[in-house]
Amino acid sequence: MIRQLAASLSAWYQDGRGLPVTRLVELLGVPTIEHAVVGHGNPGQSARIILIELESATFHADSDPSEAFAASLGASFTSACHFLSSIPANATQRVREAGIQLDLFIEIWMDNNQLDLELPSTFMGELARLRLPLKILSND
């Protein structure tokens, strides 16, 4: 069961130089960002646009916490897909030409050694359109 899930568009210089998130946003050509951002350009620090950040404990008071979490997760992926669709198709190539690595990173904290996650096809389609690799990391 998923306890916490975070998904972010992550970018970094392979040589360890710091990448300010403002530079990433500039290269992506996105007019506004409604998501949280991380990265001030410190050496070794990646720039991240946090698209999803959910904890299942938030839904413990709902009549069916698992269903409420799943519904919120689905809505979060829809929102993330909307943001990704606002990025011009050639923007990720511009980022790579600037020497910056880029991926969509999903971090999952779970228990009971069971992962039940459905990634919407529209979300996967946007990753393909932008040629963004998907990396998933879990604690178990």
Q: What is the pLDDT of residue 12?
A: 95
pLDDT in tens, 4-16: 999 999 999 999 9
pLDDT by residue (tens digit) across 18-71?
999 999 999 999 877 888 899 888 998 899 999 999 998 999 899 998 899 999
Which pLDDT tens digit goes with each residue over 72-102?
999 999 999 999 999 999 999 999 999 999 9
Domains of the chain, residue spans = 2-131
pLDDT at 140: 62
Closest CA to 53 of 66, 72, 39, 40: 72
Give the model's pLDDT for residue 13: 94
- Find the mean pLDDT for residues 126-132: 97
Q: Which residues contact 34 (CB under 8 A, 6 or more apart)?
A: 83
- Could you tell me the maximum CA-CA distance found in the chain, to the nearest angstrom? 50
Q: What residue has token string 């459905």?
A: 118
Q: Which residue has the tokens 């992550």?
A: 10
Do 136 and 108 touch, CB atoms closer than 8 A?
yes
Q: Residue 113: its pLDDT value, please?
A: 73
